[in-house]
Amino acid sequence: MDAVIRCSALATGLAALITLAIALALPSCAGKHIENTPVPADSAIPFDPPPSYPDIDWSESLQEGRARAAEEHRPLLVFVRAAWARPSVIMDATIWKDDRVLAEAPRFVAVRIDLTGNYGKPMPTWLSEFTVDSVPTTIVMGSDGQITGRFVAGVARAADVAKAMQQAK
């Protein structure tokens, strides 16, 4: 019986030491997030936004994009992104280069809103009509103003974005 008690006490002591070691290691990680961690220059996915998207004619102004879409009776594609939001960077490298998405893109007036300089600040109020409260956010809207797709906070799947684009009239 004494051997069982000694083994139990040893196991409890060992568990306490492991817990203490983990607790001491955690402060060095506190407050660090993947989004804020610089990506090495040789990374497969670039951290900084590309200067332009060669296959999609992106506008940088929501106001101009909406006016153009209304004037030309075309659907609207809005992509709100930031370089500090890793899913935005992944979407830059994947979704907007996907053949299914690129096949639909010419029908759209595309607007890319880059909030990289807004880190830690509230969302601009002019985005409130689209209920944008996180990045990335992608909104697909028909020429009639009907939203056919909204993809929020995370990497959207190319198939889902392409389907929403196909549904926009």
Helix (H) or strand (E) holding 146: none
The encoded tokens of residue 162 equal: 């392409």
pLDDT tens for residues 121-135? 766 766 766 777 778
Q: Which residue has the higher pLDDT, 159 or 26?
A: 159
Q: Dihedral sign, CA of 141, 72, 57, 163?
A: positive
pLDDT score at 145: 84
Spatial separation of the C-alpha atoms in residues 80 and 156, rounded to whole Å: 12
pLDDT score at 2: 53
What is the residue extent of each domain of the chain? 2-32, 58-167
The encoded tokens of residue 42 equal: 């040789």
As a dihedral over the C-alpha atoms of residue 71, residue 73, residue 79, residue 80, rounded to 10 degrees, the angle is: 40
pTM comes to: 0.65
Average pLDDT score over residue span 4-9: 50
pLDDT score at 48: 54
CATH 3.30.450.20 fits 58-167, yes or no: no
pLDDT tens for residues 21-79? 454 444 444 444 434 444 444 444 445 554 444 588 899 888 899 999 999 999 999 99
pLDDT surpasses 90 at 109? yes
Q: What percent of the chain is predicted at pLDDT more than 70?
A: 62
pLDDT tens for residues 137-157? 899 999 888 889 988 877 889
pLDDT surpasses 50 at 136? yes
